[in-house]
């Protein structure tokens, strides 16, 4: 690539944060969104007042509603929720050249098929280079300029390194991995475990309880990752442990905050109505359980969260049952 141009599809909080990070790294960045009002605010006021009010985006970001123009950039980033990836990828297929790097930042399993984002992209887009960006990243902190690091997974490690160097800055660092599967599983299951931690907090349990849920949740994630072809060592890095430490401990995490609402007595639907943005863990819980059943894997925390979300289990008793499972070798 002779130029450093990046197109980003998705003008929500994370799409804007990535646009900001890549722009200050010296890249030409174009951001696509559906809302003409949001696009206008980004271009004229350098702000996304809906999701990131009061935070200034880099002046050089160009926002547009022209999807074709964004897809013509050297690097394409999909900053849309997992459940939108299939429709978006089908729409943009006509605009993509062969060997285009397409990077997804979604963290989830597709509700209808139970597939990971890389599997969706492989089905819907031909002759592209699939990349996955995942890790402990709050959008507001990225825009503020606080040091942030994430995993960038791609099969071709030489190419991944070149891209990571283009996209990284002193405050936003990308570390490469060839484990596309493990990187995705870590981010997706983390959201479910974050809901469990939020539920425990809402129920009034303490730090010990949360530590137990996080630790055992990471073990569940490793079991699933190994079963679907990922490397369990990946989960000790940014897209695994790093993301768990962030999302399972902070109210800035949508999944954690959603779980807290459940823990205080809200139903799933009522809790969702109080949330700004997509709660990925809500949509991923059932597909994860279905995969676990198919693969004969024990994921008790994920199963409990899925049952609670479906309204099939009592919140308080579910958490206590988890913490009273039979004693066995860790």
pLDDT digits (tens, 9 = 90+) for 108-117: 999 999 999 9
- Would you mind telling me the total number of residues written for the chain in this entry? 330
pLDDT tens digits along 166-220: 999 999 999 999 999 999 999 999 999 999 999 999 999 999 999 999 999 999 9
pLDDT tens digits along 282-316: 999 999 999 999 999 999 999 999 999 999 888 98
Q: Which of 115, 166, 190, 257 is catalytic?
A: 190
- The confidence score (pLDDT) of residue 228 equals 97
**Rounded Cα–Cα distance for residues 218 and 189 (Å):** 9
What share of the chain has pLDDT > 90, as a percent? 92
Q: Give domain limits for the chain.
A: 5-178, 189-322
**Per-residue pLDDT for 257 more than 50?**
yes
Paired strand residues for 149: 173
Contacts of residue 80, defined as CB under 8 A and 6 or more positions apart, other chains included, come to 9, 10, 12, 15, 88, 106
- Residue 57 to residues 31, 52, 226, 282, Cα–Cα distance (Å): 12, 9, 39, 30
Q: Report CA Rg, the chain.
A: 19
Residue 322 pLDDT class (50, 70, 90 cuts): confident
Contacts of residue 97, defined as CB under 8 A and 6 or more positions apart, other chains included, come to none
Average pLDDT over all residues of the chain: 95
- The confidence score (pLDDT) of residue 1 equals 42
CB 131 within 8 A of CB 154: yes
Angle at 7 between CA 3 and CA 13, to 5 degrees: 135
The CATH number of 5-178 is: 3.40.50.720
Catalytic annotation present for 53: no
- Angle between the N-to-C axes of helices 280-295 and 207-227, in degrees from 0 to 180, rounded to the nearest 10: 50
**Rounded Cα–Cα distance for residues 48 and 57 (Å):** 8
CATH 1.10.1040.10 fits 189-322, yes or no: yes
**Per-residue pLDDT for 3 more than 70?**
no
CB 102 within 8 A of CB 128: yes
Residue 247 pLDDT class (50, 70, 90 cuts): very high
């Amino acid at each position: 690539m002779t130029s450093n141009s990046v197109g980003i599809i998705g003008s929500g909080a994370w799409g804007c944060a990535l646009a900001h990070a890549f722009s200050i790294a010296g890249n030409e960045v174009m951001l696509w969104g559906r809302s003409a009002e949001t696009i206008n605010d980004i271009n004229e006021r350098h702000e996304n007042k809906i999701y990131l009010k009061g935070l200034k985006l880099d002046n050089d970001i160009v926002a547009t509603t022209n999807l074709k123009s964004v897809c013509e950039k050297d690097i394409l980033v999909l900053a849309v929720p997992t459940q939108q990836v299939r429709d978006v990828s089908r729409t943009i297929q006509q605009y993509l050249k062969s060997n285009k790097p397409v990077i997804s930042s979604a963290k989830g399993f597709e509700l209808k098929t139970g597939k990971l984002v890389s599997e969706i992209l492989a089905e819907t887009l031909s002759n592209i280079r699939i990349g996955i960006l995942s890790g402990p990243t709050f959008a507001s902190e990225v825009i503020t300029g606080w040091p942030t690091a994430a995993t960038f997974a791609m099969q071709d490690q030489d190419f991944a390194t070149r891209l990571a160097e283009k996209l990284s800055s002193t405050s936003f660092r990308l570390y490469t991995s060839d484990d596309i599967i493990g990187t995705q599983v870590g981010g997706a299951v983390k959201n479910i475990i974050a809901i469990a931690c939020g539920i425990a907090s809402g129920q009034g349990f303490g730090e010990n309880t949360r530590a137990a849920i996080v630790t055992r949740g990471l073990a569940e994630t490793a079991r699933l990752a190994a079963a679907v072809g990922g490397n369990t060592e990946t989960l000790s890095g940014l897209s695994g442990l790093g993301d768990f430490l962030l999302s399972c401990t902070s109210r800035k995490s949508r999944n954690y905050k959603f779980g807290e609402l459940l823990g205080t007595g809200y139903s799933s639907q009522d809790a969702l109505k109080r949330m700004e943005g997509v709660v990925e863990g809500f949509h991923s819980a059932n597909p994860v359980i279905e995969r676990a059943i198919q693969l004969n894997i024990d994921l008790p925390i994920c199963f409990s969260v899925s049952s609670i979300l479906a309204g099939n289990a009592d919140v308080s008793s579910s958490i206590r049952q988890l913490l009273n499972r039979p004693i066995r070798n860790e």
